[in-house]
Structure 1
Amino acid sequence: MASTYQNVSSHTFVPAVWDSKLITQFDPLLVWASPIVANRKYEGVIRQKGDVVHINSLTRPSVGTYTLPEGMTSQRPETVDQALPITEAKYIQVLVETIEQLQSAGALETPLNQQMIRALAREADTFMGNLIVKGAMALPVVKPTAGSLPQSLYSTILDMMLALDGNDIPDGRYVVVSPRVKRYLIEHPAISNAGAYGEAGVTANGLVARLAGFSVLSTTAMPAGVDIVAGHSEFTTYASQFTGFRLGQSEKYRADYIDSLHLYGGKIVRFPGLDTQKAGNTFDESKPTKGIVKAAVEWPA
């Protein structure tokens, strides 16, 4: 009679510490889904794919003129509710000989599991990048010459700054560039001499430098047809939840597994007074947001 593998102690092991450990390794790999680019300001609980969380946009109060004897008229703050559906469900599963080995050796840091975490982060980042680019305003295509690349790309960022200034977008902005843009942009003195460039830890979340009120980031997860995107995190919400680790015995191998399900979704956030409102206190989501701009580069031969 064939013997059945069983590690009795593994079935009483609860890997509570691994949730925070996974997040610690996962979050620095994000660019589009990082807090620099997308906020986490939503209400609701994420338990499964198909859940809906909510975002509230505060309406801008009207300004009155103070006179005597009329005095002042109070206004109640009003919000516009926006639904964010959880559309994505991805998982990570770690296979180990025994749970004790996982606990003692830190198996999430092994090369194989690091690649699994990177792949999971890449999925989330690609999803958010496509969502953000789809909702951004398009600026004219950048057409530099071979000798003007650094200056042309730098000028494009300043044009994006002007476009965002024109819509009263607050400070704390970001600009995300493709690796090819970064290659030439860092030749410009304004970037190469930026204070953050070369600082310890600036590679987290793809951060390259800080310039003209922007955090400059770069990623290989750049959506097709765009090279530079600038905006503010208030205009995109990323809702994400790891469901907690599940423990079990592998049906195929003499080993145990630990897995976690990653549930997430994203939304371009609209604001009263800035975006087009429709009947029923909703927004016209077919139009781009004024808080994010994008541009493509027509590269010289």
Structure 2
Amino acid sequence: MAQSYQNQLSGTFVSEEWNSGLLTQFDPLLVWGSRIVSNRSYEGDIRQRGDAVHINSLTRPTVGDYKLPEGMTAQRPETVDQLLHITEAKFLQLLVENIERVQVAGAMESPINKEMVRALAREADSFMGRVIAAGATAVPNIKVTAGNAPQALYGAVLDLMLALDSNDIPEGRYVVVSPRVKRYLVEHPSISNAGAYGEAGVTKNGVVARLAGFTVLSTTAMPAGVDIVAGHSDFSTYASQFTGFRQGQSEKYRADYIDNLHLYGGKIVRFPGLDTVKPDHTFDESKPTKGILRASVEWPTS
């Protein structure tokens, strides 16, 4: 419903245009919440903090022996329902003296608004990084010396590849590294010569290179005490919704406001046959997933 504001021209404000501009700037800033690292495969609507959406894990069918006269017995696909709770609610509010003027001028491109979008993305990405690291299986620390850092870190990535291979984790994997790991890893010829390194647009979502079946990403939003995380997007879900821009007259200032609420949550996804199922047919979420691995690096002290 249209409202009356001190600035009468604000009635023509189009919130969809601002939402589009926000998402265009927001999504490329994500690493942990990007589709490379986390899936968006959930069902349900997000309207407020405390809502829950549903994730369905498909059980792996049983392979049978074909022999006569028994023939074949068909199996129905079965799923296990998992709930993802929306635990976070962050806001973005802008004060403008003339909504139409700043909208026409491309307000989402202004330096202050870009910084606010970056702050929102940082909050969401740091949250999702903590969720993923907390649910990952820890592997032994990686020890490096001043002279072997590139080779040691490259070897660690290959060890993570082997561990995921052993658990039959599918292709399309990622490895997220801290900036310090990235600094030495890119010295290794296999990284520095990788086709994606230096490619136009490679910095979107923090992508550094593609190597050994991994998309290699880097971010400053690393969880505390974690230097490398490797896994597959099937094993973490990021549910996010911007509620849509509102406009109104500020009670404190001679200006209008525009705001938006970002609701989101994250969850480690479990799979029958790979994760522990409790007697009540729910998953034991106290145990880490085999689909995501995390490691810390022991750096030389001198």
TM bracket (short chain): over 0.9
SS of 1:282's equivalent in the other structure is: coil
Identity of aligned residues (%): 76
Partner of 1:187: 187
Q: Which letter does structure 2 place at the counterpart of 1:139? A: V
Which residue pairs with 1:252 in the alignment?
Answer: 252
After TM superposition, the structure 1 = structure 2 runs for residues 43-122 of structure 1, keeping only pairs within 5 Å, are: 43-122=43-122
SS at match of 2:223: coil
Question: Partner residue of 1:30?
Answer: 30
More displaced stretch, 68-77 vs 266-275: 68-77
* Misfit runs of 4+, over 4 Å: none
Q: Per-residue deviation at 1:144?
A: 1.2
Provide Cα deviations, 1:66-95, integer angstroms capped at 9, x if missing partner: 111110011111100000000000011121
Q: State whether structure 2 residue 127 is matched by structure 1 residue 135.
A: no
1:128-277 alignment, distance < 5 Å: 128-277=128-277
Q: CA deviation at 1:103?
A: 1.7
TM-score by length of 1: 0.97
CA-CA distance at 1:12 after TM superposition = 4.6
Amino acid at match of 1:70: E
Residue 287 of structure 1 is matched in structure 2 by 287
Question: Counterpart amino acid of 1:290?
Answer: K
Asked whether the 8 Å contact 2:12–2:100 carries over to 1, the reply is: no
Number of the residue aligned with 1:8: 8
- RMSD over equivalenced CA pairs, Å: 0.9
Per mean C-alpha deviation after superposition, the further-off stretch among 121-130 and 9-18 is: 9-18
Task: Give the TM-score, by structure 2 length.
Answer: 0.97
Instruction: For 1:57 and 1:209, locate their aligned partners in 2 and report how far apart those are by CA, in whole Å.
Output: 30
- Does the CA contact (< 8 Å) of 2:230 and 2:292 recur in 1? yes
Q: Distance in 2 between matches of 1:187 and 1:43?
A: 43
Q: Which ranges of structure 1 fall in alignment gaps of 5 or more residues? A: none
Deviation digits for residues 168-188 of structure 1, max 9, x if unmatched?
A: 000000000000000000000
Segments of 5+ residues of structure 2 without an aligned counterpart are none
Q: Please state whether the residue corresponding to 2:147 is helix, strand or coil.
A: helix
Aligned length: 297
- One-letter identity of the residue aligned with 2:10: S
Q: Distance in 2 between matches of 1:94 and 1:140?
A: 46
Structure 2 match to 1:125: 125
